[in-house]
Homo-oligomer: A and B are copies of this chain.
């Protein structure tokens, strides 16, 4: 069973230092300790420290990064929280279902599961959203749905604790070869794939439409293992070496 310290809460471009502190406290209240901050607007900051209250240890251990990619390096599964319905349908579930799924993952102890939270005003952008296998939404009042950031973290971590403390059905063994490819390996493949598709003029960088998003969704759904990523990269490489340069 997953250890709650293997869940990494990732705040992407948080604006208010108070929310960072309140997030640290909310996490510790539920037994989580792994926090990453991607390009926080103001941090470190006295307000963050004040709101963290007795959870300064979580705050001090927080990883501060320049990019989402950096924050996700050691993560095998990526979840993204979102309030809005997106044009491109994506696998999604409510926070309770997600917590149960996360807690029943079998994961190497060196690996983590990331949960992304967007900035206070606009949430996560589409580019970041397509990095996730699954989107998580919190059921709210349809006419007033915008939760405070630290409240969203509180609900997510509460559901994780509840799931961890009691509801742990083990998911069926997946039809794949172990081990599951980590985020950076899969992301590297997507970069290769995009270059290759551009090279053969299948993808027009000026009019990308949703092509990469659709392909990411397809492959994320399949939960690629390392061998498979290796094969797929090999195909991209072979195509590039066989097609003439302009």
Contacts and interface: CB of A to CB of B under 8 A. Distances in A.
Contacts of A188: none
A169 B26 contact: no
The number of times this chain is found in the oligomer is 2
Interface stretch (A62-70, A111-119, A220-228): A220-228
Contact of A154 (B55, B90, B151, B174): B151
Contact of A151 (B139, B151, B169, B201): B151
A17 B185 CA distance: 48
A238 B201 contact: yes
Contact of A144 (B28, B141, B202, B242): B28
Interface in A127-171: 138-141, 144-148, 150-151, 154-155, 158, 161-162, 165, 169-170
Contacts of A54: 144, 146
A61 interface: no
Contact of A141 (B31, B155, B200, B224): B31
23 contacts: A25-B148, A26-B147, A30-B141, A89-B174, A91-B173, A92-B173, A93-B172, A138-B158, A139-B161, A140-B161, A141-B161, A155-B155, A176-B217, A176-B218, A176-B221, A197-B238, A200-B235, A200-B238, A200-B239, A215-B231, A218-B222, A239-B239, A242-B243
Interface in A183-227: 197, 200-202, 211, 214-215, 217-219, 221-224, 227
Nearest to A222: B222
A120 to B, nearest CB: 10
Interface of A: 22, 25-26, 28-31, 53-55, 89-94, 96-97, 138-141, 144-148, 150-151, 154-155, 158, 161-162, 165, 169-170, 172-177, 197, 200-202, 211, 214-215, 217-219, 221-224, 227-228, 231, 234-235, 238-239, 242-244
A167 to B, nearest CB: 9
A195 to B, nearest CB: 13
A214 B224 CA distance: 11
Contacts of A140: 29-31, 161
